[in-house]
Structure 1
Amino acid sequence: MKFYSAAERIAFIATLIAVLVLALLPISRLDEFGIDIGFHYDKANHASAFAILAFLGSLGWPGRKRRLIIFLALVGAAIEILQGTSLIERDLDVFDWIADCVGMACGLLAAICANWISRRVN
């Protein structure tokens, strides 16, 4: 039995939108809305967001993991480039992109484990 459905795809898209909004709004706007992006550690925010995206994406599109990783790596790079502009008022940091990639690896590993467990149970 394959461990994916439309629910994972919808969750992936909703999470991607949330990550993009949180990553691309200037900090001053987030504070204005009373939004605290959590953990108070930027690298953990990046890694956890991209771990969740990789997990949901690999469950939603199990045969397209390579494309998913390329897409997420490009999204992470684009976020960093845009954060480096004066419009976003944040800092461009290559280590944030590395944290994104580490998160992706963790998310893929979690999805592989979830699929393995699902096959064992069924």
Structure 2
Amino acid sequence: MARIGFVVTLACVLLLTLLPVRFLPDLGMAVTLHDDKLEHAIAFAALAALGSLGWPGHKARLVVLLAFTGAAIEVLQGAQLIGRDLDGFDWVADCAGMALGLTIAGWTKRRVGRRVVGLP
């Protein structure tokens, strides 16, 4: 279940972060500076937690994948076609979110037990 959640969440994060800014008002959304870092951290915390629960033996690969994903998002956001800004601090927020997500996943596994995440 965590694996499906990870894939769906990753697809949503990619869609929302790479959607050209001109389409956001049609979806009732806007890019604002005051909560942008928090949104990045929350998204990557969710991805890291779900990925860690879904693939518990592959944390290093997960961290590398998510770090590269966050960096790629920033580079692509800097493209004129998307109309957003490249901001290295967004990547820092992504990494902080990953650390939080891995901590939450570890706490969940210890506190609730392995049966919750569908492991034997």
Q: CA deviation at 1:36?
A: 5.4
Structure 2 alignment gaps of length 5 or more = none
TM-score by length of 2: 0.89
State the partner residue of 1:4: none
- Count of aligned positions: 116
CA offsets 1:65-97 (integer angstroms, 9 cap, x no match):
000000000000000000001011000000000
Cα distance in 1, alignment partners of residues 107 and 76 from structure 2: 34
After the TM superposition, which of the residue ranges 34-43 and 56-65 deviates more from structure 2? 34-43
Structure 1 position 69 matched with structure 2 position 48: no
Q: CA deviation at 1:38?
A: 9.0
Letter in structure 1 aligned against 2:19: L
Superposition RMSD on alpha carbons, in Å? Answer: 2.2
**Per the alignment, do residues 121 and 102 of structure 1 end up closer, same or farther by CA in structure 2, a change over 3 Å counting?**
same
After the TM superposition, which of the residue ranges 38-47 and 108-117 deviates more from structure 2? 38-47
Alignment partner of 2:57: what SS?
Answer: helix
Alignment match of 2:78 (pick from 53, 71, 84): 84
Could you tell me the percent identity over the aligned residues?
54
TM-score by length of 1: 0.88
After the TM superposition, which of the residue ranges 89-98 and 37-46 deviates more from structure 2? 37-46
